C-alpha cells in the first residue's frame, strides 16, 4: 500500500489536456451514460449523469483556480477565462455541481454516527486523535445539519421500479469508471480522479441505504480509504461552490460583460429527483 500526502500533491493544473484527457472523459460519459445523453428522462437513472457532470465541473474549477499562468516565471494563479469557458457559462454544469455537492453532503450527514464512531489509523496516535476530533466537529456541526435537511428524498429515489437492478447497474458503472481512471497518463490526475470517484461511489453506497442510521451502521463497514475519499470529495466540492461565488465579481471584469450569478441558476433542491 502506498500513502500519498494530498497536501503536497494538490488538485491543480498539470498540463494534462488535449485529446488524451478528452478521450477519458468521453469514455466516462459514453460508456456509462449513453441513455442519459440520448434523452432518458427517468430521474432515478439520470442521477448518475448529474453526479458525473457535477464532479467534472468541480475538477475543472480547481484546475482553473490553480493554473500555471507563466511557465517561465513559475507563476500560478486563477484562470478566470478557463473557468468561465469550461463551467460557468453553462447553467446545467453549475446546476449539476450544486446537486453533486448536496448529494455528498447528504451522505455525510446520514452517515454521521458511523463516521464519528469509526477508527482512524494514520500511523501516528496524536494525528489519530486529531482526525477523530475533526470528524466529530464536521458531522455534528449545527450548520451542516441545517444546510442539508433533505435536498432530495432518497427513499423515493431508490424505491422506484427496478430498484435492485438500478443499484447494481450504478455500482457496476462506478467500477467501470474506476478502471478508466487507471488509463490516465498523468499520475496526479489519476490520483485525484480515482480518489473523487471513490468518494462519489461511497456516497452512493450510503444513500442506497434508505433506513435508519442504526441500520446503516449495522449494514455497512466502510474501508478507511472510502471514508478518506468521501471526506476529501466533500472538501473539493465545497471549495468549488465557494470559488464559483467568489469569482463572479472578478469574472464580469475579465469578460467585460454581465454574467448571470449563481443565484440565477435553477434551484438544486427541487425538480431534479
pLDDT, tens digit, for every residue of 33-89? 755 444 554 555 678 889 999 999 999 999 999 999 999 999 999 999 999 999 998
Residue 36 grid coordinates: 442519459
Query: Per the annotation, does 141 bind a ligand?
Result: no
pLDDT band at 257 (very low <50, low <70, confident <90, very high): low
**How large is the average pLDDT for residues 100-127?**
88
**How large is the average pLDDT for residues 217-241?**
87
Query: Per the annotation, does 14 bind a ligand?
Result: yes
Q: Give the model confidence (pLDDT) of 177-192 as tens digits.
A: 888 998 898 989 999 9
* 159 has a pLDDT exceeding 80: no
* 200 has a pLDDT exceeding 90: yes
pTM: 0.84
Active site residue 189: yes
**How large is the average pLDDT for residues 142-152?**
66
Residue 139 grid coordinates: 458531522
Distances, alpha carbon 223 to alpha carbons 162, 227, 230, 237, in Å: 28, 7, 11, 21
- Residue 99 pLDDT: 92
Task: Work out the mean pLDDT of the chain and round it to a whole number.
Answer: 81
Query: Per the annotation, does 12 bind a ligand?
Result: yes
- Residue 97 pLDDT: 97
Residue 141 grid coordinates: 456541526
- Residue 57 pLDDT: 97
Query: Per the annotation, does 56 bind a ligand?
Result: yes
- Residue 218 pLDDT: 55
- Residue 121 pLDDT: 83
pLDDT, greater one: 236 or 128: 236
Distances, alpha carbon 62 to alpha carbons 14, 30, 83, 152, 189, in Å: 11, 24, 9, 26, 12
Query: Per the annotation, does 53 bind a ligand?
Result: yes
Amino acid at each position: 500500500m502506498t500513502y500519498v500526502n494530498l497536501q503536497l500533491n494538490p488538485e491543480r493544473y498539470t498540463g494534462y489536456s488535449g485529446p488524451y484527457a478528452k478521450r477519458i472523459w468521453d469514455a466516462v460519459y459514453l460508456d456509462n451514460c449513453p441513455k442519459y445523453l440520448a434523452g432518458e428522462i427517468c430521474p432515478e437513472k439520470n442521477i448518475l449523469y448529474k453526479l458525473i457532470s457535477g464532479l467534472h465541473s468541480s475538477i475543472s474549477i480547481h484546475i482553473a483556480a490553480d493554473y500555471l499562468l507563466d511557465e517561465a516565471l513559475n507563476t500560478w494563479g486563477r484562470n478566470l477565462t478557463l473557468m468561465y469557458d469550461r463551467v460557468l457559462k453553462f447553467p446545467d454544469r453549475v446546476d449539476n455541481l450544486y446537486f453533486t455537492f448536496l448529494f455528498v453532503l447528504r451522505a455525510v450527514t446520514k452517515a454521521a454516527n458511523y463516521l464519528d464512531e469509526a477508527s482512524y489509523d494514520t500511523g501516528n496516535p496524536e494525528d489519530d486523535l486529531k482526525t477523530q476530533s475533526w470528524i466529530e466537529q464536521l458531522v455534528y456541526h449545527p450548520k451542516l445539519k441545517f444546510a442539508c435537511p433533505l435536498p432530495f428524498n432518497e427513499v423515493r429515489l431508490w424505491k422506484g421500479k427496478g430498484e435492485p437492478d438500478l443499484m447494481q447497474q450504478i455500482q457496476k458503472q462506478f467500477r467501470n469508471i474506476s478502471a478508466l481512471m487507471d488509463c490516465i497518463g498523468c499520475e496526479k490526475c489519476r490520483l485525484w480522479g480515482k480518489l473523487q470517484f471513490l468518494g462519489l461511489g461511497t456516497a452512493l453506497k450510503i444513500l442506497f441505504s434508505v433506513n435508519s442510521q442504526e441500520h446503516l451502521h449495522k449494514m455497512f463497514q466502510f474501508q478507511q480509504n472510502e471514508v478518506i475519499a468521501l471526506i476529501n470529495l466533500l472538501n473539493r466540492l465545497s471549495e468549488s461552490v465557494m470559488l464559483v461565488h467568489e469569482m463572479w465579481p472578478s469574472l464580469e471584469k475579465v469578460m467585460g460583460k454581465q454574467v448571470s450569478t449563481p443565484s440565477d441558476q435553477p434551484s438544486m433542491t427541487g425538480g431534479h429527483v
